[in-house]
Amino acid sequence: METGSVADSLLSGACVFFTLGMFSTGLSDLRHMQMTRSVDSVQFLPFLTTDVNNLGWLSYGVLKGDGTLIIVNTVGAVLQTLYIAAYLRYCPQKRMVLLQTATLLGVLFLGYGYFGVLMPNDEARLQQLGLFCSVFTISMYLSPLADLAKVIQTKSTHRLSFSLTIATLLSSASWSLYGFRLSDPYITVPNLPGILTSFIRLWLFWKYPPEQDKNYRLLHT
C-alpha cells in the first residue's frame, strides 16, 4: 500500500474517532436527564444546531461521495436526535423546544429545496452547499465567545468542559488536515475557528484552574 494511501486512511480514521468522541460527550447530559428526569443545567440549542449541522454536512458528503463525511455525520445526527428526544421528554416547556426545532428544520428543508431545485448542476450545488455548511459551522464555533467572556469576568471555568475542549481541538485539527489533503476549503476553513477557540479555552483552564475556581466560589458565598 502506498504511503499516501496509508496517511489518508489514518487521517480519515482520526476524523471519525475524534469527532465521534466529541459527539459522545453529550452522553453525560443524556444520563443526567435520565437520572434526574429533568433538564436542569442542560442546554438544548447545542443539540439542535449540531444536529442541523450534521444533516447539512451529511448532504455535502453524499453529493461529494465522501465516505468519511457520511459516516461521521450519520452517527452524529442519530446521537443528536437522541439527545433532542430525551430533552423533549423531560423538558416542561415543550412548546418552545418544538418551535425552535421546527424553525431550524424549516430552514434546513428550504435549503434542501433551494439546492435541489434551483442549482443548475452538481458542481454548483456542491459549492453552494459547501459554503452554507462552512458558514454554519463557523458560526457554531464562534457562538460560545460570549461564554468565554463570562469566564474571564468571573474568573471561573465551571461552565467549560475540559473533555469537550480536547475533543473539539483534536476533531477540528483532524478535519482541517483532511480538508487540506483533499484541497477542499469548505472542510478546512470552518474548522480553523474550532482550533482557535479550543486553544483559548485551554488557556482559560490554565489561567483559572479548578482549584482557583473553587476558592473563588468560596470567597463569594
Q: What is the pLDDT of residues 88-122, one digit of tens each?
A: 888 888 888 888 888 888 887 787 777 777 777 87
pLDDT score recorded for residue 76: 94
Asked if the model's pLDDT at residue 192 lies above 50, the reply is yes
- The string of pLDDT tens digits covering residues 49-90 is 899 899 999 999 999 999 999 999 999 999 999 999 999 888
Would you list the domain boundaries of the chain?
1-207
Nearest 5°: CA angle at 27, between 21 and 33?
Answer: 165
Query: In the predicted model, what is the mean pLDDT of the chain?
Result: 85
Taking residues 183-192, report their average pLDDT.
Answer: 95
pLDDT score recorded for residue 14: 93
Asked if the model's pLDDT at residue 217 lies above 50, the reply is no
Q: Residue 12 to residues 28, 69, 145, 177: CA-CA distances in angstroms?
A: 26, 9, 29, 10
Taking residues 168-177, report their average pLDDT.
Answer: 95
Asked if the model's pLDDT at residue 155 lies above 50, the reply is yes
Helix pair 122-142, 45-64: axis angle to 10 deg? 150
What whole-number distance in Å separates Cα of residue 98 and Cα of residue 185?
34
Cell digits of residue 104:
431550524
pLDDT score recorded for residue 173: 96
Asked if the model's pLDDT at residue 211 lies above 80, the reply is no
Asked if the model's pLDDT at residue 218 lies above 70, the reply is no
Give this prediction's pTM.
0.84
Coil, strand or helix at 164 = helix
